[in-house]
Amino acid sequence: MSTPHDPSTRKAAHLEICTAPEFYQVESGTTGFQELSFIHNPLPQTSFDDVSLTTKFLGKSVSFPFFISSMTGGSEGGYALNKDLARAAEKIGIPVGMGSIRILFRKPEVFNHFRFRKFAPSVPFFANLGSVQIRDMEHREIFEVLNRLEADGIAVHLNPAQELFQPEGDRDFRSIKEALYRFFDKCPIPVIVKETGCGIPRGLAVDLVSHGASYIDVAGSGGTNWMRVEDFRETVVSSKEVEEFDSWGIPTALNLSSYFGLESPRLDPVLSGKVLSSGGLRSGMDGLKSLALGASLFGMALPVALAHKSGGYDGLVQFLNSLKRTLHRGMLLLGVRDVISLPNTLLVATQEFLYKTEQLKRG
């Protein structure tokens, strides 16, 4: 029998709350992307067909630098979504993440929900697990499941803010960093370290990459607020206590600019080629700005779930194609022929953005 605190009931509730914007306001804050703009190039000196959007991720070619962020699995609704996410990712040629596989260790019968390879044979896909599980579980047991899943990578989430608002959430975050270092050392596939909407400060990102993390997905603030999502599991109206944290976290665009600065070319000796942008991205333009700020790929969770909810598989494919078209048009209008050259473009920022970037570099 499942209880409200059972992982599959919790995962089903998360998906239900996130995809019912008429009842639940799960987003808060701002990302900072609106404070940035490009300098238009009226003489691009290239042709639309010569602009290449392709890149590599987790050892495979992808058609444009976008990934579907980790979301679900372990409930019937989650399984249906995962199947369509994997099929759409295969059709478009992009990477896709799955939700936390924690449930697999308790309910091995839901293995099918996470069998992405069946629907996405050629694109990279990555598993997902919490950092507390990395501390508390046998790593050998995790590696066995990753092997059975045939995953190309694993995203490990850091989410103390979410846990604190989850009634049954973890409260003890001691010794996680050391466990992560051990995990990086032995894990047979690349490890992505991500937040779930509060960002990762520069100093920690450098530390994690220096100890073997393959990628940092900032998953900054300005989009889905997981403190709010957890709060809505108890109430329909957000509580005063959770609203106090509405602007908590590092806004995604500022998180990236604190890694790479705003002067072009935006490069960092440790972090270049290892950073993913997500958290509150809501358009292809947010994606284009992310890549210009120095990220290698950009990702989204909530908009993907909402596109699927309103349009099913076809709606999802249309949404993904539209992101790709925006990126393509934007690159042409900047006169940029390939993704790797985007950090060389000039960016115009507000005074406040510049100031906050400098402040955040200290973090």
Q: Which parts of this chain interact with ligand FMN (CB under 6 A)?
A: 14-15, 18, 69-72, 99-100, 128, 155, 157, 194, 196-197, 219, 223-224, 278-281, 300-302, 305
Closer to ligand FMN at the Cβ: 27 or 35? 27
Closer to ligand FMN at the Cβ: 51 or 110? 110
Closer to ligand FMN at the Cβ: 305 or 360? 305
Residues 255/218, Cβ–Cβ less than 8 Å: yes
Say how far apart CA 13 and CA 7 lie, in whole Å: 10
Residues constituting the chain: 363
Find the shortest distance in angstroms from Cβ 129 to ligand FMN: 8
Find the shortest distance in angstroms from Cβ 196 to ligand FMN: 4
Find the shortest distance in angstroms from Cβ 278 to ligand FMN: 5
Find the shortest distance in angstroms from Cβ 304 to ligand FMN: 8
Closer to ligand FMN at the Cβ: 120 or 302? 302
Closer to ligand FMN at the Cβ: 72 or 290? 72
The residue number with the shortest CB distance to ligand FMN is 223
For 247, residues 6+ apart whose C-beta sits below 8 A from its C-beta are 28, 29, 221
- Residue whose C-alpha is closest to residue 220's, from 255, 174, 272, 189: 255
Find the shortest distance in angstroms from Cβ 16 to ligand FMN: 9
Q: Where are the alpha helices (DSSP H) in the chain?
A: 7-18, 76-92, 131-136, 139-149, 160-165, 176-186, 202-210, 226-232, 240-243, 252-260, 284-293, 302-334, 351-360
Find the shortest distance in angstroms from Cβ 251 to ligand FMN: 12
**What's the maximum distance between 2 C-alpha atoms anywhere in the chain?**
65
Closer to ligand FMN at the Cβ: 12 or 336? 12
Preceding peptide of 265 cis, ω within 30° = yes
